[in-house]
Amino acid sequence: MRYFLVIVLFVSNYIVAQTSDFIKGADISFVPQIEYLGGAFTIGGTQTDPVEVFSQNGVDYIRLRLWHTPTDGYCGLAKTIQMATRIKQSGSKFLLDIHYSDTWADPAHQTKPVAWQSLTYTQLVDSIYSYTYSVVQALNTANVLPDMIQIGNEITVGFLWPEGRVGGSYNTTIQWQQFTTLLKTARNAIVDAVPGTTIPIMLHIDRGGDNAGSRWFFDKMNSYQVPYDYIGLSFYPWWHGTLTQLTQNLNDLATRYNKNIIVVETAYPWTLQAYDNVTNIVGSTSQLHDGYPSTVDGQFNFLFDLIQIVKNVPNNKGNGIFYWAPEFISVQPVGSPWENLALFNFQGEVLNSITAFNDIDTSGSISVTFNLNTSTNWDTLRTSGMVQLRGEVVNGSNILPSGENLTWDQNSQVILQNAGGDYWERTIRVLPGSEIHYKYWTGHSISDPTFLRLGWEGPIQPFDSTSGNYRKFIAGDTDTVVQIEYYNSSGTNVNQYWKPFEHKEDSIAVYYRVNMGGVTSTGRFNPSVNGPVGVRGSAVNSINILLWDNTNLFLTREISSVNSGSFWSGVTYYPLSSVNENQEYKFFIENDSQNGWENNISNRSFTIPSHDTTISWVYFDNQPVVTDVEDELKPVSDFALFQNFPNPFNPSTKISWHSPISGFQTLKIYDVLGNELSTLVEEFKSAGDYEINFTTSELSSGIYFFRLTTQLGTKSIKSILLK
């Protein structure tokens, strides 16, 4: 990535001015304290104002937190005005994050300022108005009026507790009325403080990859008619899910609420090493996102891909991102638990990953979208898996105009995102006339490839029948969506655009696929005795494509698929008159010792689309393989630690998990600094589902982590204790 750093620092014409409609921001609230303690930030060894470092590298918006009466003065109004002055002088815009607390506010801590502790609710409403009004007026007087203000910080469960607390035992009408009244009052104060000036308002929660949690909160905002302009979300992959889950949440929120959306907090590690004796919040490979190693390149790729995801939110509602505490390097005596998540190394030298913020000159380039369907992968690839496009630009630079480096190895930065079921896609920018040779690689993670050919697909013949074992794309002059491609698991050479079914002009092809490995491992199903496997279902639109009392669609066994041929698949064709009809179905064992049916599930169903499609594979009867006889099965994909319930909790909560194999298991609890507090489970357990109750009288309110370790790996969940 040195290439990008040189471009930025020496102002090559490859970089153009940043766009005005997409925010690329950073929260650098630690700068005054770090500078006071002797910390310095450098470019090529030359000390540079950190505000200027960010400004030179495409960051056009700075966020600052404001505390009411902090004990050391940092993040108080006076120092915020000083810092805001530097921001405005650099030409950047300014987002004010009012915590309404003397210290950190987040889902585990929403403590009222000491000055407000004894107030009645009515007095609290008056105080939030007068305080907010005076803050905005003071900033305006100092000529540093914010360009946006967020009311509260990660207010998923309210703020100004207990009066403004919601959720859990506080999930009552009166609590919601009080909370939303406080929000409205703060907004009114902002509007009134500077008449004639409109400052956009953000509401910020911490549910980046949690669509249900996000909808719960913003549905309440709608029902109580809270006015706001921006949805703000925190997204840290070790707490808030995957990029796929974030994408799905952003896309749904944009459509559902028609609001502008900003990922207002995010970060990613450039190393897992530590510099000081303060335990880092991220220090384990289990906390990393698949496909993004803890390297400077990994940090760059995560940030770059996140920016593209937000930019691609429907209806142009994805308005930007803010990196949280990129300047939080370690200085004594305070140290830093965030040092490996900063955009500077341990000595304060800016990292190449900061270049992900830069707008790259894509003038003259076109947009190309690649689409892959993995229903033909003979392994159990899930939506949480990984698909990589590996290859080269044979007549140009492998560094694409959109910034990615395309290579034939695992370092390729063109990583496809799941688009639902077996469908994966990625949009890149290329120059007209570019000839790209490529193939697809799949894995359960970057270090865990699918079982055939170490993740590589089989032999492919280019679409134009030229020689060579690769796919080929030649860019034209206009934006292009490459027609759907199918992963080739076989050892047979197939054409680039082969399909597992025939396209018919008068029909819709639907490809069914089921994994019989679970019922095979339990003894219910023996392929040579009980087969074949079929599909039965409701007659659609009076056309008996499927029937409940007879099998019209028999599936074929994929002999070479995972777990000694556990997959069965087949295609049927629906007439065009069936489009938008609902198809109910179940898989059926023709010669079953039982009744043949999937018994533990309700009828499966889908709406017949207007185009050929594949139905995402499932286990028969939703029974996964329960033995580890075949290493090929990759049972790690079934290993799960579920969110504790209730959460937040006091004093008890339930933790449950599923392990598909037998083995030694440990379940431990840690505090936010990574200190181990207690061991809850430490024993050999058989494969299965488990649940324990955890009760504490010793721990104080705060964020804690339950971490489960088995031979399949480690998983963690974030939990909140609220007393």
Residue 536 in domain: yes
Rounded to whole angstroms, the Cα distance separating 482 from 239 reads 35
Residue 630 in domain: no
Told to judge if 349 belongs to the known catalytic residues of this protein, a careful annotator would answer no
Would you state the structure tokens that stand for residue 714, as one six-digit string?
């480690």
Q: Are strands 23-27 and 318-324 parallel, antiparallel or unpaired?
A: parallel
Each residue's pLDDT tens digit, 412-469:
989 998 888 899 999 999 999 999 999 999 998 888 899 889 999 999 999 999 999 9
Q: Residue 686's pLDDT is what?
A: 64
User: Within this chain, do residues 344 and 426 fall inside the same structural domain, yes or no?
Assistant: no
User: Within this chain, do residues 465 and 383 fall inside the same structural domain, yes or no?
Assistant: yes
User: Within this chain, do residues 274 and 144 fall inside the same structural domain, yes or no?
Assistant: yes
CA dihedral 519, 521, 522, 523 (to 10 degrees): 90
Task: Answer whether 0.85 is exceeded by the pTM.
Answer: no
Which domain-ending residue is among 471, 495, 519? Answer: 495
Rounded to whole angstroms, the Cα distance separating 92 from 86 reads 9
Rounded to whole angstroms, the Cα distance separating 293 from 337 reads 19
Q: Are 708 and 635 in contact (CB under 8 A)?
A: no
Q: Residue 6's pLDDT is what?
A: 29
Region 591-610: what's the mean pLDDT? Answer: 90
For residue 256, the tally of other CB atoms under 10 A from its CB is 14
Rounded to whole angstroms, the Cα distance separating 285 from 493 reads 38
Each residue's pLDDT tens digit, 49-89:
999 999 999 999 999 999 999 999 999 999 999 999 999 99
Residue 68 in domain: yes
Q: Are 469 and 314 in contact (CB under 8 A)?
A: no
Give the chain's end-to-end CA distance (angstroms, integer). 47
Q: Is 90 exceeded by the pLDDT of residue 640? A: no
Q: Are strands 201-205 and 230-235 parallel, antiparallel or unpaired?
A: parallel
Which position among 35, 52, 163, 265 bears the catalytic label? 265
Whole-number Cα distances in Å, 381 to 196, 441, 593: 56, 12, 30
Expressed as residue numbers, the domain containing 570 is 507-622
Residue 263 in domain: yes
Rounded to whole angstroms, the Cα distance separating 78 from 646 reads 41
pLDDT band at 723 (very low <50, low <70, confident <90, very high): confident
Q: Is 80 exceeded by the pLDDT of residue 137? A: yes
Rounded to whole angstroms, the Cα distance separating 710 from 666 reads 7
pLDDT band at 627 (very low <50, low <70, confident <90, very high): very low
CA atoms within 13 A on the CB side of 434: 26
User: Within this chain, do residues 19 and 90 fall inside the same structural domain, yes or no?
Assistant: yes
Question: Tokens 């620092």 label which residue?
Answer: 9
User: Within this chain, do residues 453 and 475 fall inside the same structural domain, yes or no?
Assistant: yes
In terms of Cα–Cα distance, which of 327, 268, 275, 264 is closest to 296?
268
User: Within this chain, do residues 329 and 432 fall inside the same structural domain, yes or no?
Assistant: no
Name the 3-class secondary structure at 324: strand
In terms of Cα–Cα distance, which of 198, 240, 203 is closest to 221?
203
What total number of domains does the chain contain?
4
Residue 629 in domain: no
Which domain-ending residue is among 442, 466, 495? Answer: 495
Name the 3-class secondary structure at 40: coil
Q: Is 90 exceeded by the pLDDT of residue 722? A: no
Question: Tokens 């000036």 label which residue?
Answer: 197
Q: Residue 174's pLDDT is what?
A: 97
Q: Are 182 and 124 in contact (CB under 8 A)?
A: yes
Name the 3-class secondary structure at 629: coil
Average pLDDT, the chain: 89
CA atoms within 13 A on the CB side of 640: 12
Q: Are 93 and 62 in contact (CB under 8 A)?
A: yes
Rounded to whole angstroms, the Cα distance separating 337 from 518 reads 44
Q: Residue 185's pLDDT is what?
A: 98
Q: Residue 419's pLDDT is what?
A: 84
User: Within this chain, do residues 341 and 195 fall inside the same structural domain, yes or no?
Assistant: yes
Q: Are 539 and 575 in contact (CB under 8 A)?
A: no
Q: Are 309 and 333 in contact (CB under 8 A)?
A: no
Region 149-160: what's the mean pLDDT? Answer: 97
Q: Is 90 exceeded by the pLDDT of residue 647? A: no
DSSP 454: G
CATH code of the domain containing 150: 3.20.20.80
Region 599-610: what's the mean pLDDT? Answer: 90
User: Within this chain, do residues 77 and 177 fall inside the same structural domain, yes or no?
Assistant: yes
Residue 99 in domain: yes
For residue 421, the tally of other CB atoms under 10 A from its CB is 16
Lowest mean pLDDT among 144-148, 386-390, 499-503, 707-711: 707-711
CATH code of the domain containing 613: 2.60.40.10
**Residues above pLDDT 90, as percent of the chain:** 69
Rounded to whole angstroms, the Cα distance separating 523 from 239 reads 39
Which run of H or of E encompasses 337?
Answer: none
Rounded to whole angstroms, the Cα distance separating 355 from 343 reads 10
- Tell me the torsion sign for CA atoms 395, 396, 400, 406: positive
User: Within this chain, do residues 321 and 389 fall inside the same structural domain, yes or no?
Assistant: no
Each residue's pLDDT tens digit, 14-35:
222 233 489 999 999 999 999 9
Residue 183 in domain: yes
Q: Is 50 exceeded by the pLDDT of residue 10? A: no
User: Within this chain, do residues 182 and 65 fall inside the same structural domain, yes or no?
Assistant: yes
Q: Is 70 exceeded by the pLDDT of residue 634? A: no
User: Within this chain, do residues 77 and 129 fall inside the same structural domain, yes or no?
Assistant: yes
Rounded to whole angstroms, the Cα distance separating 193 from 172 reads 32
One-letter amino acid of 114 = V
Each residue's pLDDT tens digit, 318-371:
999 999 999 999 999 999 999 999 999 999 999 999 999 987 666 789 999 999
Rounded to whole angstroms, the Cα distance separating 348 from 39 reads 8
User: Within this chain, do residues 519 and 538 fall inside the same structural domain, yes or no?
Assistant: yes
φ/ψ (deg, to 5) at 601? -130, 160
CA dihedral 302, 303, 306, 312 (to 10 degrees): -130
Each residue's pLDDT tens digit, 293-303:
999 988 998 99
Q: Is 70 exceeded by the pLDDT of residue 36? A: yes
Lowest mean pLDDT among 83-92, 460-469, 627-636, 668-677: 627-636
Residue 564 in domain: yes
Name the 3-class secondary structure at 351: coil
Q: Residue 636's pLDDT is what?
A: 37
Q: Is 50 exceeded by the pLDDT of residue 712? A: yes
Q: Is 80 exceeded by the pLDDT of residue 637? A: no
Which domain-ending residue is among 622, 648, 676? Answer: 622
Name the 3-class secondary structure at 281: coil
Region 215-237: what's the mean pLDDT? Answer: 97
Told to judge if 265 belongs to the known catalytic residues of this protein, a careful annotator would answer yes
CATH code of the domain containing 649: 2.60.40.2550
